[in-house]
Amino acid sequence: MLSMRPNCECCDRDLGPGAAEAYICSFECTFCESCATGSLGTRCPNCGGELVRRPRRPLALLAKYPASVDRVLSRSRCAPGA
C-alpha cells in the first residue's frame, strides 16, 4: 500500500491524497508535477528510477487507510535551481 506522502520532496508543495499532480518512484519518493516533469525530467533524484503519476485514493478509503502525514524533504538532491 502506498503511504501517500503529503508533499513534494523538492519544493515542499502540498500534495494531498486527492492531488492529481503527484508523481512517485518505486520507493515512493514523491514530487509535484512541475518538479517531476521539469527539473527532474521524470527521473527520481534519490534512486534514479522513473517517476510516474501517483494514483489517487478514493475518499471513502482514506478514513480506513489514512494518507501519511510525514513530510519528506530532500532539497539538496534536487536539480540546482529547483
Element (H, E) at 48: none
Min CB(5)–Zn ion separation in Å: 12
Element (H, E) at 58: none
Task: Kindly state whether residue 74 participates in binding Zn ion, applying the rule CB under 5 A.
Answer: no
5-64 binders of Zn ion (CB under 5 A): 8, 10-11, 13, 25, 27, 29, 32, 35, 44, 46-47
Distances (CA, A) of 24 to 18, 32, 45, 64, 70: 14, 9, 11, 22, 15
For Zn ion, the binding residues (CB under 5 A) are: 8, 10-11, 13, 25, 27, 29, 32, 35, 44, 46-47
